[in-house]
Amino acid sequence: MKIIAGIDIGNATTEVALARVTDSEIKFLGSSLYKTTGLKGTEENIEGIKKAIFSLLEKLDFKLEDLDLIRINEATPVIGDVSMETITETIITESTMIGHNPDTPGGCGIGIGLTINIDNLKELKCSLLDEEYIVIANKDKNFLEIAKILNSEINRGVKIKGAILQRDDGVLVNNRLLIKIPIVDEVQLIEKIPLGVKCCIEVAEKGRVIEKISNPYGIATIFNLTSEETKKVVPLSKALIGNRSGVVIKTPQGDVKEKIIPAGNIYIKGCKTTEEVGIQEGAEKIMEKISFLNVQDIFGEDGTNVGGMLRNVKNTMSKFTGENIEDIKIKDLLAVDTFVPQRIKGGLAGEFMLENAVGLAVMVGTEKNQMENLARLIKSELGIEVEVGGVEADMAIKGALTTPGTGKPLAIIDIGAGSTDACSIDKFGRKAHTHLAGAGNMVTLLIQKELGVENFNLAEDIKKYPLAKVESFFHIRYEDGSVQFFNEPLSPSIYAKNVLVKNGELIPIDIQNTLERIRDIRRESKRRVFVANSERALKKISLTKNIRDFEFVIIVGGSALDFEIPEMITEALSKYGVVAGCGNIRGIEGPRNAVATGLVLGDREC
């Protein structure tokens, strides 16, 4: 009799299965998991392995000396990375227009005039009263002072056609004016507005949106732009589409400049040929090139965004493995079309526009398997016999087949943080496996970029947990329409806000998007990565490239615990006539522990 621990060192988590093994029987005693420390297959893994083993031994009241053997998985370390490359490279340059969209403008209509500081109004001589003005007022003055000065100057004959305020006082000032004008407020960087230049303010009526300055030809009409200048203001006009208010200022030539780093081209090297595709051609074209090539390596154009990103991934792998960077190859890439908020160069309050972009996830493998070396290090650290137990895909199949109700031919989809792995076994015992770029981290990036969320952890939570709207102090409405009531009043800090329901706690989301919009982005991001990659992986491991070859498909891995991913994948695969669903390893573990369980089973027949 032996006590054997199977340890699956993954890219994100390290999982352990412990069993008592005899010639005739295997009795599993328990399992545990801990986050993987360091890059998979490196010495840094030992700390996470120790944490996972000791927590399990303590739970079972075992000692380290009780262990007879440790088996670890045989797998080449891989590293995944994600990046977002914008298709449109130029935002605004040189003769720049500056736009803004406050939430609470004052008045309505269009105002055109020269910018002037409110303190300089009193210095205007009679000869200058024929000009029309847009007044600038910073936070030093409150709404009462501003309204008093404006009314006084209007009575003196000054033609004030609009105002730009730093404070959130637009409505308060407008309510006190003798003659109503459009007012834009909450302009954070008001000191950057040049004085004495032509400016246009537009505020729409409630329930409507601006029309003049959200149209590039409208801006061209106001500022007498040439055709070339009109092309440059297209991003600004796009940024103001759908807004209730905005301000556009023509700054002096060359006042705002930006350095352009092009998105660049991707080069996909096959066995016989190398294909070139530009980021600007979009994700569909990129994936089309990848699909018909036996990819040997992928690299980017020097001096571009994508070139730097792909080079950085190879540098990271080289650092961890000690291999020459030229020997490290990118084996797969997933491209996804998306939209990202782009900050407008020269903006005064973080103005942005939604721009087309391509999300990229890449995966790098090396030819150097470091697991034998890691096994020696673990043995030296723990004093326990350690062996490399077998190819990870084989072990995953053995573990997955302990799910009740499964059989051959079987395919497994293992969705992790950086990669989507798949392996299969047919009725004759023939096996196949593949590793593809793109998984949980890619989905988080898409959510983060499309919603304009700066905090990665918040985007991760949006991916993992359902949404709700706090509709009163005593009830919330979930994204599916169901309602939950509370006996005690909810905190005023979350009243009328969108929240995440995380382990029974309501976490407010301070994002300028509706609940429906956040939900749509979350679900669409998952479909474009998890569902698309699952179908891509199954076709790669099918002998005929047909998903119908499989009777059973089991979803395993950390992402299979997601509250909606298994349902999405199951629905997508239903059209192929396969039995697809979330795994339940050994009937008790759910989708976790497949490889660790397979390592304990060892050479026993599937």
Convert the pLDDT of each residue in 386-398 to its tens digit.
999 877 778 889 9
- The Cα 40–Cα 417 span in angstroms is 13
3-class secondary structure, 138: coil
Cα torsion angle, 397, 398, 400, 401, sign: positive
Is there a contact between 270 and 295 (Cβ–Cβ < 8 Å)?
yes
Question: Would residue 578 be called left, alpha or beta, if left means φ above 0 and alpha means ψ between -120 and 50 degrees?
Answer: beta
What's the number of CA atoms in the CB half-sphere (13 Å) around residue 169?
21
Token pair, residue 577, equals 């006539």
362 or 90, higher pLDDT: 362
Side-chain-side CA neighbours of residue 573 (13 Å): 33
Please report which confidence band the pLDDT of residue 259 belongs to, taking 50, 70 and 90 as the band edges: very low
Higher-pLDDT residue of 71, 228: 71
Task: Tell me the C-alpha distance between 490 and 239, whole Å.
Answer: 36
The answer to whether the beta carbons of residues 595 and 73 sit under 8 Å apart is: yes
Amino acid identity at 242: G
- Distance (Å, whole) CA 545 – CA 555: 19
Q: Which tokens in the block code for residue 486?
A: 């509370």
pLDDT recorded at residue 328: 84
Q: What percent of the chain is helix, strand and coil (3-state, nearest 5)?
A: 35, 30, 35
Q: Is the pLDDT of residue 57 over 50?
A: yes
Q: Measured between alpha carbons, how far is 311 from 300 in angstroms, rounded to an integer?
A: 8
Q: What pTM does this model have?
A: 0.71
pLDDT tens-digit series, residues 193-220: 888 888 899 998 887 888 898 888 998 9
Q: Mean pLDDT across the stretch 458-487?
A: 95
- Cα separation, 254 vs 112, in Å, equals 22
**What was the pLDDT predicted at 325?**
80
Mean pLDDT along residues 113-139: 87
Q: Which residues pair with 431 in a beta bridge?
A: 425
Residue-level pLDDT at 519:
95
Among 448, 272, 299, smallest CA distance to 359 is for 448
Q: With bands split at pLDDT 50, 70 and 90, how would you rate the model's confidence at 351?
A: low
Please give the domain boundaries of the chain with CATH numbers for all domains: 1-75+369-399 (3.30.420.40), 81-89+259-365 (3.90.470.30), 97-250 (3.50.30.70), 405-583 (3.30.420.40)
pLDDT at residue number 530: 93
The pLDDT value given to residue 191? 80
Range in 17-31, 67-81, 167-181, 254-268 with the lowest mean pLDDT: 254-268
19 contacts 7 by C-beta, under 8 angstroms: no
The per-residue b/e assignment along 245-256, b for 16 or more CB within 10 angstroms, e otherwise, is bbbbbbbeeebb
pLDDT tens for each residue of 549-558: 899 999 998 8
Does residue 584 carry a pLDDT above 70? yes
Distance, in Å, from the CA atom of 566 to the CA atom of 559, rounded to the nearest integer, reads: 9
Contact 111, 182 (CB under 8 A): yes
β 552-556/579-582 pair status: parallel
Whose structure tokens read 């499989």? 550
Q: Which residues contact 525 (CB under 8 A, 6 or more apart)?
A: 338, 443, 446, 447, 450, 463
How far is it, in rounded angstroms, from Cα 279 to Cα 358? 7
Q: How far apart are CA 526 and CA 359, in angstroms?
A: 13
* Beta strand 475-478 pairing with 467-470: antiparallel
Q: 17: closest CA among 598, 596, 602, 601?
A: 596
Tell me what pLDDT residue 94 has. 36
Share of the chain above pLDDT 70, in %: 88
d(CA 530, CA 417) in angstroms, rounded, equals 11
Kindly indicate the confidence band of residue 95, based on its pLDDT and cuts at 50, 70 and 90: very low
Average pLDDT over residues 177-193: 85
Give residue 413's pLDDT band: very low, low, confident or very high (50, 70, 90): very high
DSSP strand pairing (109-117 vs 97-98): unpaired
CA nearest to 218, candidates 110, 104, 355: 110
Q: Lowest mean pLDDT: which of 16-25, 92-101, 242-251, 429-438? A: 92-101
> Taking a C-beta distance cutoff of 8 angstroms, is the pair 2, 25 a contact?
no
Residue 599 identity: L
DSSP SS3 for 326: helix
pLDDT for the residue numbered 256: 45
Instruction: Give residue 296's pLDDT.
Output: 92
pLDDT at 88: 46
The values of phi and psi at residue 325, to 5°, are: -60, -30
> What pLDDT band is residue 247 in, cutting at 50, 70 and 90?
confident
pLDDT at 574 over 70: yes
Average predicted confidence (pLDDT) for the chain: 85
Output the six-digit token pair for 521: 């982005």
Question: Which residue, among 519, 484, 482, 524, has the nearest Cα to 498 in the 3D structure?
Answer: 519
CA–CA dist 6, 70 (Å, integer): 6
pLDDT grade for 462, boundaries at 50, 70 and 90: very high
pLDDT range class, residue 369, cuts 50, 70, 90: low
| Residues with Cβ within 8 Å of residue 524, at least 6 apart in sequence | none
Q: Tell me if 444 sits within 8 A of 456, measured CB to CB.
A: yes
Q: CB neighbours (10 Å) of residue 224? A: 9
pLDDT in tens, 492-528: 999 999 999 998 899 999 887 899 999 999 999 999 9
* Span 531-539, average pLDDT: 93
